[in-house]
Structure 1
């Protein structure tokens, strides 16, 4: 996980997970709308998942 992705997931979480698939974007977007902190946490978890690393 790069530093830029971490910064992006703090500023705008759905944009940080754009290459992880449509489902991830929708989940993070909904959590961000419900509250900024849950969206950030979800984005960091999705980006930190070893299965999703490229």
Structure 2
């Protein structure tokens, strides 16, 4: 995981997931979790991009 990915996971979780996996179910889940609360979006982004 690069420094850019880590920064994006913290600041813009859906963008980090989009750059890693494209426009798919992972992105939509990340977007919804970020809209519900920032922290769940960050946790999910780290989980998905770390796979």
| Shared fold (TM-score, shorter chain, > 0.5) | yes
Unaligned runs of 5+ residues in structure 1 are: 50-54
CA-based RMSD: 0.8
Name which one, 1 or 2, has greater alpha-carbon Rg.
1
**TM-score, reference length from structure 2:** 0.89
Higher-RCO chain (CA-CA 8 Å, sequence separation at least 6): 2
Q: What secondary structure, in the 3-state scheme, does the structure 2 residue paired with 1:30 have?
A: helix
Q: What secondary structure, in the 3-state scheme, does the structure 2 residue paired with 1:17 have?
A: helix
The aligned length equals 49
The alpha-carbon deviation at position 27 of structure 1 amounts to 0.3
Distance in 1 (alpha carbons) for counterparts of 2:15 and 2:45: 9
Distance in 2 (alpha carbons) for counterparts of 1:47 and 1:2: 10
**TM-score, reference length from structure 1:** 0.85
